[in-house]
Structure 1
Amino acid sequence: MPWDARRPGGGADGGPDGAGTARSQAQKQCRKSSFAFYQAVRDLLPVWLLEDMRASEAFHWDERGRATAYSPSEALLYALVHDHQAYAHYLLATFPRSALAPPSAGFRCCAAPGPHVALAVRYNRVGVLRRILRAVRDFPAEERVRLLDRRGCSRVEGGGTALHVACELARPECLFLLLGHGASLGLCDAGGFTPLELLLRQLARDAGAGPVAGAPAAADPGELRQRRLLLLDLLALYTPTEAAGPARRELLADRLRWQRLLGEDKFQWLAGLAPPSLFVRAMQVLVTTISPSRFPEALEELPLPPFLQPLDLTGKG
């Protein structure tokens, strides 16, 4: 480290003034090196250079008041934000566990597991999300579930899972990847809504006059609605029974509007008034037979319906 805030007494004279000066200088140097690393990832510099910086030059000031090297987990957060796919792939391939471990307190707002899955969904990093899900295939089942079903901070993320984020921001590719790897549909966010219930609320809001929370300002309302309907179709593939609880009551309370929004067949099934069509049931069986260890690679072997074919699960589109 080119500076040291932990010298005896903190400074050359060993007194409190020297300690304060040394600490202030160390923090200043730390901020400079931290920003340099951030810029390097943002500018998509080569992986070897970023790793050299992370290992020997870049430090951040941690919660214990010490200059600390960036962990693979913290470096992956930067790679996700700036879509540095090569660096993200390297970190996940080389340090799969530590790259997905919780970052230090300065990089998160609560003690929840690592936020990488939800962050990949929020920024729509389909390629990196696919790499993350590939990396967790070898994790113990309990650890894999904990990462996939992580609940976000109630203040910042509404206490929702990555599935909630995908439904809120209309990310069908991310949603499909998460569902195929076993993310749970039954968990509620801080408001008590499952991903399906949240999506129905978003559809109802789309049908009204107000703006949709979380949607880009320039988003075409018709296109956004189509993406939400696609999300609903994807959720239907992994929902063996009708919508339960509040969602079903909401559908039945305003039948005419929901029949118009969803179509008669989908409304009847979600409201529990009729079983799903044979086509939907057949697709449920086909899709759910794919093991997470072969998802989404095995999709090419399935006779996919048209509404699934436009999905780009590679992250290159």
Structure 2
Amino acid sequence: MPWSVRWVGGRGAQSQKQCKKSSFAFYQAVRDLLPVWFLEDMRTMEVFHWEDGGKVSVYSPSEALLYALVHDHQPYARHLLTKFPQSALAVPSQSFSCCQSSAPHLAMAVRYNRVRVLFRILKTIHTFPPSDRASHLDRRGCSRVEGGKTALHVACELVRPECLLLLLGHGASPCLQDSAGNTPLDTLLQQISHSPAANMRAKLLCLDCLFFFVPQDLQFSMKQQLLDNRQRWQDLLGENRLQCLLGLAPPSLFVGAMRVLIRTISPEHFPEALDNLPLPHFLKPLDLKLES
């Protein structure tokens, strides 16, 4: 599908129409999981997208990665993150993100449950300087559209235990609040409260993962609800979890031991080093078999 770059100098309406055609062709090519070399030829030489204000732009690695995330094109995502680590995780244009303050790739990976691509993004982020690393891991979404949620909030909202553990193990903060003042723990407890019968095993697994990383003195807005409806929450969570959340009992020996053990694992060795923990398999929080 050769597109001549000469057409971008034509009349605005015609250029916009052809931009839409070429953009859709690129979207389809990623969706159809075409080879990486073919997609890169298209991205760098053949396709353009239309920006507000009449600007014609090529697809950046960041924008291409968003397409790869949506369609789970793992080889293409791996190529973009390997060859363009900084620009693949840069802020995309306004056509792809309403909020220009930070890049949305982590939250997008969680939203679409792309565990393997999320793992590669986190490994790429670990190569960044510490300040850049934190801004990616703890990026808050647009307050108008995403409610200021971090990727951890999204993992709790959508009940993604694998994504949650990967984010926590790579240093994402469980203490940040969204625009409504909720921590990821609040978000998870709200999910448990609103639809307690749905997917409860995964929700409790998420809660157990949070126990390994949240500080014992974490302030969270749902605590008063737990106190006001203790019997209901005890039925939902079990007595040990509820007592721990309310600060009425210390964490179980297992949770305390896991907190200590997990702190010995550096992000660059997470989650692979979980296999080396001196625990029987059935006690390990999740079986994450991911390639570096």
TM-score, normalised with respect to structure 1: 0.86
1:57 is matched with 46
Report the alpha carbon displacement of residue 201 of structure 1 after superposing the two structures with TM: 1.3
Unaligned runs of 5+ in 2: none
User: Which stretch of the first structure deviates more once superposed, 50-59 or 148-157?
Assistant: 148-157
1:276 is matched with 251
Of 221, 224, 241, 1:266 maps to 241
Contact 2:212 2:255 in 1 (8 A): yes
Report the alpha carbon displacement of residue 74 of structure 1 after superposing the two structures with TM: 0.3
Report the alpha carbon displacement of residue 244 of structure 1 after superposing the two structures with TM: 2.5
Structure exhibiting the larger radius of gyration computed from Cα positions: 1
Q: Distance in 1 between matches of 2:72 and 2:131?
A: 29
Report the alpha carbon displacement of residue 154 of structure 1 after superposing the two structures with TM: 2.0
User: Which stretch of the first structure deviates more once superposed, 40-49 or 292-301?
Assistant: 292-301
Report the alpha carbon displacement of residue 111 of structure 1 after superposing the two structures with TM: 1.7
**In structure 2, the residue corresponding to 1:91 is in which secondary structure?**
helix
1:288 is matched with 263
**In structure 1, the residue corresponding to 2:5 is in which secondary structure?**
coil
Q: Distance in 1 between matches of 2:48 and 2:8?
A: 13
Alpha carbons of structure 1 residues 243 and 72: separation in structure 2 relative to 1, 3 Å: same
**In structure 1, the residue corresponding to 2:282 is in which secondary structure?**
coil
Is the counterpart of residue 171 in structure 1 residue 126 in structure 2? no
Report the alpha carbon displacement of residue 303 of structure 1 after superposing the two structures with TM: 3.2
Q: Percent identical across equivalent pairs?
A: 59
Q: Distance in 2 between matches of 1:70 and 1:2?
A: 14
Residues 1-317 of structure 1: matches in 2 within 5 Å? Answer: 1-6=4-9, 22-207=11-196, 221-222=197-198, 224-304=199-279, 306=282, 308=284, 310-314=286-290
Contact 2:271 2:288 in 1 (8 A): no
The letter of the residue matching 2:223 is: R
Q: Distance in 2 between matches of 1:51 and 1:276?
A: 51
Q: Distance in 2 between matches of 1:277 and 1:72?
A: 46
Q: Distance in 1 between matches of 2:289 and 2:219?
A: 30
**In structure 2, the residue corresponding to 1:235 is in which secondary structure?**
helix
**Cα RMSD for the two superposed structures:** 1.7
The letter of the residue matching 1:231 is: C
Alpha carbons of structure 1 residues 313 and 151: separation in structure 2 relative to 1, 3 Å: farther
Contact 1:33 1:59 in 2 (8 A): yes
TM-score, normalised with respect to structure 2: 0.93
The letter of the residue matching 1:312 is: L
Report the alpha carbon displacement of residue 39 of structure 1 after superposing the two structures with TM: 0.5
Alpha carbons of structure 1 residues 311 and 61: separation in structure 2 relative to 1, 3 Å: same
Q: Distance in 2 between matches of 1:266 and 1:231?
A: 12
Q: Distance in 2 between matches of 1:126 and 1:307?
A: 21
Q: Distance in 1 between matches of 2:230 and 2:12?
A: 66
Alpha carbons of structure 1 residues 310 and 142: separation in structure 2 relative to 1, 3 Å: closer
User: Which stretch of the first structure deviates more once superposed, 39-48 or 275-284?
Assistant: 275-284
Runs of 4+ in 1 over 4 A off after TM superposition: none
Report the alpha carbon displacement of residue 308 of structure 1 after superposing the two structures with TM: 3.8
